[in-house]
Amino acid sequence: MKRKVGKKLLSVALTGIMALSVAACGSGSATGTDETSSGNSGNATAAASKNPADIAGTITVGGWPSGDDGFKAALTGFNEKYPNIKVEFNFTDTTSHHQALATSLAAGSGAPDVAMVEGAYIAQYRDSTALVNLKDAPYNAEQYKDQFSALKWNQAYSVDGSRMVAIPWDVGPCTYFYRTDIFKECGLPTDPDEVSKLMSTWDGVMKVAKAVNIPGKRWFMPSSVYLYQLMFCNRDYYNKDMTLKLDRDGDLDCLNTVIEMRKEGLDMNVDMWSTEAYAAYKDGSCASVATGSWFGGFLKTDIDPDGAGHWAVAKLPGGLQDCNWGGSFLVIPEQSKNKEAAWAFVQYMLCTATAQNQMLQAVDYFPAYTPAYEDASIYDAADSYFGGEKTKTLWASIAKNLPTVFNTMMDVTAEGCIYSTVNAGLDSGLDAQGIKEQLAKDIESATSELKNQQIQVYKDAGMWDDSTKSVKE
C-alpha cells in the first residue's frame, strides 16, 4: 500500500534540500517545495470548457527571462482563442523566482497561477501535492505523452508514477559551436560534417585545440572541464540503489584530454558564462564552446550579434553521446483560483506547434513538443547566422534521440561539484583517476543528507525495497 508523504515531513525535507543545494561544492542555489495545500481552491472552475470564450479571468504567470519574451511572442494567438483570459507576467531572475515559488507553496498563498520550473530542480518538485496533478481529469495530460521528448516527460512524474505535476517546455540538445573564420585561418575544415568527423576522437580534438591556439592570445574553449561535464548533462548521476554512477564510456580518456589541454594552456580556464568568455567569443580569442542549442540565441542577440557567418554548429566532439543541457517546465499550483484558465495557457503554449515555434523563433527555446518539428519552413530552413546551416534539423535529430534517465533530488548538487572539483584537481596536479576519485568523495559528502531525504520520499511512497536497498521495479 502506498502512503502519502506527510506535510510536515516534506516541508522540513525540502527546506533542507534548498539549504544543502546552495552550500554544496560551491554550487548555485536549488529549491524545493512543500505539500501544504488543501487542494480544493479553484477546483470547481478546473473543468474543461467546450467553448474557449467561456473561460474567463486573470492569471499570473511567473518565471525568469527570456521566458516572458517567449510567451509574449505567442500571446496574440492565445488571446484570439481565449479572448476572456487576461495574462499578467511576474518575472525575475532564476534564483529569486525559485525561492519565491518555494516560499509561496509552503505558505499556501502568493504563488502565480502558472510557474516555470528549471529542469535542474524538477526532482525537488515532482512529489509535491502543492502542485496540481495533471494526470487527473479534467486535465488528462497523458493524452500528450507520446508527443514530447521522453527524457523531459518522464521527469515530471512523482516517484511512484501516480502523479504528474509539470508539462515540459523545452530541451537543450548539446552541440559544438565554433568560429569558422578561425578554423579557416588555421587550415582546418569548416564544414560541420567534416569538423564532426575530425573531432570524433580525443586525438582529433587535441589536433584542433593546438591548431587554433595562439599562446596568451587565442584559446580553444573557455574551460576544458566542460568536455567532462557533458558526460553528465542528462543528470543521470545515480543508480536506483542510490549509488553514485560516475563511470562513463571513455571518461578517463576525456579527463586525460581535459588535463592535457589545461597543461598546455589551450583553454582560457574561465567559466563559460564569465565576462571574459563573452568578450572572447565575440572578438575571436575563444574559438569554440560545447553547450545546449539555446546558446545560439545568446550568440545572436547578446554575445555576438554581428557574428553572422562566423559561427557554425557541429556534433559534440570526442565521441560524446547525444545529451540535453537544461530545459524548463510549467506547473500549476493548487492554490490557483483559476486553474481552468491556467491549464488553457499551459496547453496552448506547450502543446501546440504554433505557439512552441513562435516561442522558438523569439527566444530559441527548443521545443520538447516533437510535433513542432514537422514545420519544414522552420526546421529545414537555412540559418543565415550560422552560414546557411540547417541547425534546427540537427537539434531536432538529437532531441528525438535523448534517452530516458533516472533522476534524483541530489542531481543538481552533484552537478555543481563537477566544475569545482575537476578544476581543483587540475590545479593540484591530480591524474584522471585521482580526479574521478576525488569527485566521487566530494559528491558523496555534499549529497549525503539529500540522499537520505530522497530514500525517505521513496519509502513514504511505498517504492523502497528494504531487502535490496533499492527502488522497487
Closest CA to 263 of 28, 432, 101, 63: 432
Which residues lie below 8 Å from residue 19, measured CB to CB, with a gap of 6+? none
Pair 329, 114: CB distance under 8 Å: no
**Dist. CA 357–CA 351, nearest whole Å:** 11
pLDDT computed for residue 473 by the predictor: 87
- Worst-scoring range by mean pLDDT, 31-35, 233-237, 370-374? 31-35
Over range 295-303, report the average pLDDT.
92
pTM: 0.88
What is the overall mean pLDDT for the chain?
91
Over residues 19-69, the pLDDT tens digits come to 444 455 754 333 333 333 333 334 433 444 569 999 999 999 999 998 999
Over residues 192-220, the pLDDT tens digits come to 999 999 999 999 999 999 999 999 999 99
Q: Is 275 left (phi over 0), alpha (psi -120 to 50) or beta?
A: alpha
Owner of C-alpha cell 505557439: 355
Other CB atoms closer than 10 Å to residue 81's CB: what's the count?
Answer: 14
Residue 349 class from Cβ within 10 Å (0-12 exposed, 13-18 middle, 19+ buried)?
Answer: buried
**Dist. CA 59–CA 75, nearest whole Å:** 13
Over residues 393-424, the pLDDT tens digits come to 999 999 999 999 999 999 999 999 999 999 99
Pair 284, 218: CB distance under 8 Å: yes
Q: What is the dihedral of CA 430, 436, 438, 440, to 10 degrees?
A: 180
pLDDT computed for residue 301 by the predictor: 87
Closest CA to 2 of 457, 473, 420, 466: 457
Over residues 60-96, the pLDDT tens digits come to 999 999 899 999 999 999 999 999 999 999 999 999 9
